[in-house]
Structure formats: C-alpha cells, structure tokens
C-alpha cells in the first residue's frame, strides 16, 4: 500500500464510524442516516479501494454519482483536498470528469438526473460504484440498473462492490429503508438476500447479496461541534428527527396536493398490476420540458376506468429520443396530448415542436390552456377513476405523493402555487390528462391483426404513428 499512498497519510484520518464503513466487506454498504457524520469524506476515500490496492491496478474503474451535475462540485472539492495528499500522482481531468492515478486506474464522476440517464453507462463496467446522497433518487431503478455494470475484466484481481451515503429525509428514503432493512429508529442493520446477477456473457446467476447499514450521526464526527448542532436544533420536529437523531420514520409532506388521493387509491386497491390490453389503443399525455425533464403517461380507458399502464421520464433528450421510447414500448397508439406551449416556434429552427414531432410521426393534440388551480381540481376529480400500475408507474406515484404547494414564510401559510421540483413534471402530465383525455376507441380489425402478427421495426413504427 505504500506505493499507492503519499508519505503523509495524516492528511486524512477516519473517525470511528468512518473506519467501520471503510473496513466493511459486504457487497452493498450504506453509510450515514443523519447529518454531520462525515459521509462525503468516507465515500471519497472508499472510492480509492485501498483494502484491495485498487488504484495500483490499471484496469480499476470507479464511478461516483450524484443526482445533478451541480451537486458534483461538493464531491470534487473534497476529492481535490484529499486525493493529491493521499494518493501519489492523482490527477483530475476536468474535461472528462475523472481522476487518474499513476497506474492508469480511474475514478469517474457522474450524475443521473432522471431514471433514463442510466443508459449513458449501458456499455460500461466498473468495480466500484458510489452513490452520494442516495435518497435523492426517488426510485430504485437507477441503482438497480447500475448494479448490472459491476463487472471485473478476466484475470484482474479485484472484487466489485457498491457504497452509498444518504440522510433519511430524501424522496427515496422509503425504498432505501426496505432495501437495507432499516427500522424507523435507524440502528445498524445487515440484510442477506438472493438476487439474480448478470454474468459477463450476458447470462444470469443467482447469488447471495449482503447489505449492511452503518449509521453515523453528528456525535460520531469530532470535527463538527456545537454550532452545527445548534443549527439542526432549529429545524422542524420531523426534519430534526431525521437529520439529528437519524430516524427513518415515514415522512409527512406539508402542503401535499395529491397525497390523500394517492393514499385512497392504494387503500382501494387501484394501485396494483394493470396489464396492457392489446385490443385497446394507448393514449399518451406529455409534459414537455425545454432544458428540463419530460414526463409521459401511457393511458388506456375502459368505460369509466382510466388506466395508467406505464410512465416514462427523462431529461436532456430531444423528440427523436421520445419517438424511440414509444417505438420500443410497442403499444398501438391513439391520441398524443401535449401542453399548449408545444406550438411556440423555436428561434433556432423556426419550427414549433408540434411540427417537429409531426415529422417523427407523433401527431399531437394540444391540451386546453386552463389555470393550474383549475387543472388541479380536475385531477382530483379524475383520481377516483384511476387505476395505476404499481411497478411501471412507481416513480410517478412517489412524485404525486410529494407534489406540494409553496410555503410563504412571511405570511406563515401555503400559497396556491405548486413547488417546481422533480415532482412537477409528473404532476403536470397528469393534470393535462385530467383536462383533455377522452375514451380511446378500439382499433379496427386490420390494426388488431398488426398487433398479432406484426414484427420488426417497421410494424412497431406503424403502431405508434397511428392516429
């Protein structure tokens, strides 16, 4: 290890909890669960793979992830402060966002703003993947997909593992608690589970996965004192319980707009497995983002039932990407609905997005332009008719539960204006459904034959271009 470390390793020393995390040998280890436990530093050091001399091995590839690009800066600052003094020859390549070491080993920095962003890594392999503030990912989909990227080249003496940090107050806290078996009081846990893993040749095998949660609180970090504790004490009861006491209780959502409606749908069994009926058309309803996320609901209507059979969200993609998404789903499509601003002409091309979409075979109908509050009322009226697929619409359900109104601190009250955050795109798409959707007509006999016997890209393309 002397070859990998700088002579003055006193540049960084772990506290007792960080040392426990760094020494853990389980496949997946989560660290933190409260504010002030030294999570970022622990993850940055763990990425070096010092227990198996990873940065001495040229083939070693690590990947450290945050939810957004801007949030990577905090991680990079800690790496810049520690790596050059701990690892000899560590150099940061800013253009490609990775640290390179003398052996040729690399640690990359990445971000995943939407679930679909994982496909940036579909042809990659890593031996270490770290997730900073994992609870900022609302669903486990990105985490589960990146687990398939953990692979070791042949004859390379490395072991693959995953490490993560988080607080229990983020939108993904529920799935994380289930994944690691964390109880509300936030104590340490060890969960053993059999899962299917992909081999190098693409086949699957069942393996035993061991997941460990190492809790760390402010009291475990000697470098943060009473001033930081005083700041945490000023938080509301729920946030203070999470960030100071490390509790994983079910969060309250103050100002929630659809929380009651989603809960009622769950209680009435309308959040369940909702199969695709190939004898009915699928309508799509979009919230189209410009430099922001785009959300799409896939909808079938049977009598008074409105079935949300699928949901897709991504960011930073153009209309051709979403045309491919529709194509790959393979549904027989009916109407496509989009908000009124799709008709605005873009400065660069001089064409509106509704015209661009038409060239791709997506013929949009424009949603009536009504006020947000009127649309929210229409959505609440629609909810008793909704049947929602629990698996395919998992991200949508979480967003709808967390969609909330802004709070005016000066007046001490919630306003009518919803908060614009990661929940907004899904909620807006559902609002557009509520104010525009009409029952879908059955396909004609010849179209049903296409569904039954059609195959290949040309058949799928015909299906999604149907209007």
Domain final residue, candidates 218, 243, 268:
243
Decide: helix, strand or coil at residue 74: helix
- For residues 274 and 177, membership in a common domain is answered with no
CB neighbour class for 204 (10 Å; exposed up to 12, middle 13-18, buried from 19): exposed
CA distance 374 to 279: 33
For residue 252, tell me if it sits in a domain.
no
CB atoms within 10 A of CB 366: 15
Contacts of 360 (CB under 8 A, 6+ apart): 319, 320, 323
**How far, CA to CA in Å, does 250 sit from each of 145, 184, 289?**
26, 8, 31
Banded pLDDT at 341 (limits 50, 70, 90): confident
For residue 410, tell me if it sits in a domain.
yes
CA distance 209 to 408: 46
Q: Stretch 134-163: mean pLDDT, rounded?
A: 92
CA distance 78 to 82: 6
- For residues 378 and 270, membership in a common domain is answered with yes
- For residues 164 and 281, membership in a common domain is answered with no
* Cα four-point dihedral sign 29, 179, 398, 326: positive
The predicted pLDDT at position 11 comes to 63
Residue range 62-86, pLDDT digits in tens: 999 999 888 998 899 999 998 988 8
Q: Is the pLDDT of residue 439 over 60?
A: no
Residue range 377-398, pLDDT digits in tens: 999 999 999 999 999 998 899 8
Q: Is the pLDDT of residue 430 over 70?
A: yes
The predicted pLDDT at position 26 comes to 95
DSSP single-letter state for residue 404: B
Which structural domain, as residue segments, surrounds residue 396?
259-465
- For residues 184 and 275, membership in a common domain is answered with no
Q: Stretch 193-206: mean pLDDT, rounded?
A: 73
- For residues 460 and 312, membership in a common domain is answered with yes
Mean pLDDT value across the chain: 86
CA distance 116 to 134: 16
The predicted pLDDT at position 253 comes to 77
Query: Please, are residues 122 and 110 in contact by the beta-carbon 8 Å criterion?
Result: no
- For residues 188 and 283, membership in a common domain is answered with no
For residue 412, tell me if it sits in a domain.
yes
Instruction: Give the count of domains, the chain.
Output: 2
For residue 253, tell me if it sits in a domain.
no
Tell which wins on pLDDT, 451 or 176: 176
The predicted pLDDT at position 465 comes to 40
Q: Is the pLDDT of residue 284 over 90?
A: yes
For residue 301, tell me if it sits in a domain.
yes
Q: Which residue has the tokens 């010849």?
A: 446
The predicted pLDDT at position 463 comes to 41
Q: Is the pLDDT of residue 45 over 70?
A: yes
Min mean pLDDT across 24-33, 63-72, 197-206, 288-297 is at 197-206
The predicted pLDDT at position 102 comes to 93
Tokens in use for 448? 């049903």
Indicate which CATH number applies to the domain containing 151. Answer: 3.40.50.300
- For residues 219 and 115, membership in a common domain is answered with yes
Q: Which residue has the tokens 């040309």?
A: 458
- For residues 423 and 356, membership in a common domain is answered with yes
Indicate which CATH number applies to the domain containing 293. Answer: 3.30.420.280
Q: Is the pLDDT of residue 29 over 90?
A: yes
Contacts of 384 (CB under 8 A, 6+ apart): 264
- For residues 308 and 402, membership in a common domain is answered with yes
For residue 109, tell me if it sits in a domain.
yes
For residue 416, tell me if it sits in a domain.
yes
- For residues 214 and 270, membership in a common domain is answered with no
- For residues 210 and 305, membership in a common domain is answered with no
Q: Is the pLDDT of residue 205 over 60?
A: yes
Banded pLDDT at 356 (limits 50, 70, 90): very high
- For residues 235 and 292, membership in a common domain is answered with no
**How far, CA to CA in Å, does 300 sit from each of 56, 99, 304, 357, 458?**
55, 48, 11, 22, 23
The predicted pLDDT at position 107 comes to 97
Banded pLDDT at 223 (limits 50, 70, 90): confident
For residue 251, tell me if it sits in a domain.
no
């Amino acid at each position: 290890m002397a070859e990998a470390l700088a002579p003055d390793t006193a540049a960084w020393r772990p506290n007792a909890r960080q040392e426990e995390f760094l020494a853990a040998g389980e496949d997946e280890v989560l660290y933190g669960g409260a504010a002030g436990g030294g999570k970022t530093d622990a993850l940055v050091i763990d990425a070096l793979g010092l227990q198996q001399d990873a940065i001495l091995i040229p083939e070693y590839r690590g990947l450290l992830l945050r939810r957004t690009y801007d949030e990577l800066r905090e991680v990079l600052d800690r790496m810049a402060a520690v790596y050059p003094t701990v690892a000899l020859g560590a150099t940061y390549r800013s253009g490609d966002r990775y640290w390179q070491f003398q052996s040729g080993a690399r640690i990359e920095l990445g971000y995943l703003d939407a679930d679909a962003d994982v496909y940036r890594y579909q042809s990659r392999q890593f031996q270490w993947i770290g997730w900073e503030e994992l609870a900022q990912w609302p669903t486990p989909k990105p985490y589960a997909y990146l687990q398939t990227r953990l692979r070791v080249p042949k004859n390379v003496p490395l072991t693959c593992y995953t490490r993560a940090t988080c607080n229990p107050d983020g939108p993904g806290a529920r799935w994380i608690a289930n994944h690691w078996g964390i109880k509300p009081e936030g104590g340490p846990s060890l969960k053993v589970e059999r899962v299917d893993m992909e081999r190098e040749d693409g086949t699957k095998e069942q393996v035993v996965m061991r997941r460990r949660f190492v809790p760390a609180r402010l009291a475990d970090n000697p470098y943060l004192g009473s001033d930081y504790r005083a700041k945490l004490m000023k938080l509301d009861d729920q946030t203070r319980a999470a960030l100071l006491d490390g509790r994983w209780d079910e969060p309250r959502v103050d100002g929630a707009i659809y929380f009651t409606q989603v809960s009622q749908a769950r209680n009435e069994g309308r959040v369940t497995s909702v199969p695709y009926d190939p004898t009915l058309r699928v309508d799509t309803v979009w919230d189209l983002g410009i430099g922001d996320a785009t959300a799409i609901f896939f909808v079938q209507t049977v009598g008074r039932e409105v079935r949300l059979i699928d949901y897709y969200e991504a960011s930073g993609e153009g209309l051709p990407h979403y045309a491919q998404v529709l194509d790959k789903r393979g549904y027989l499509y009916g109407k496509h609905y989009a908000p009124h601003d799709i008709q605005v002409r873009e400065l660069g091309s001089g064409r509106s997005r509704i015209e661009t979409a038409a060239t791709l075979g997506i013929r949009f109908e424009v949603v009536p332009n009504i006020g947000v509050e009127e649309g929210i009322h229409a959505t609440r009226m629609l909810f008793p008719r909704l049947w929602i697929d629990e698996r395919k619409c998992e991200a949508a359900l979480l967003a709808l539960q967390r969609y909330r109104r802004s709070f005016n601190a000066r007046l001490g009250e919630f306003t009518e204006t919803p908060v614009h955050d990661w929940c907004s795109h899904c909620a807006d798409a559902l609002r557009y459904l509520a104010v525009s959707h009409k029952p879908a007509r059955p396909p004609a006999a010849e179209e049903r034959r296409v569904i039954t016997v059609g195959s290949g890209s040309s058949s799928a393309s015909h299906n999604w271009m149907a209007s």
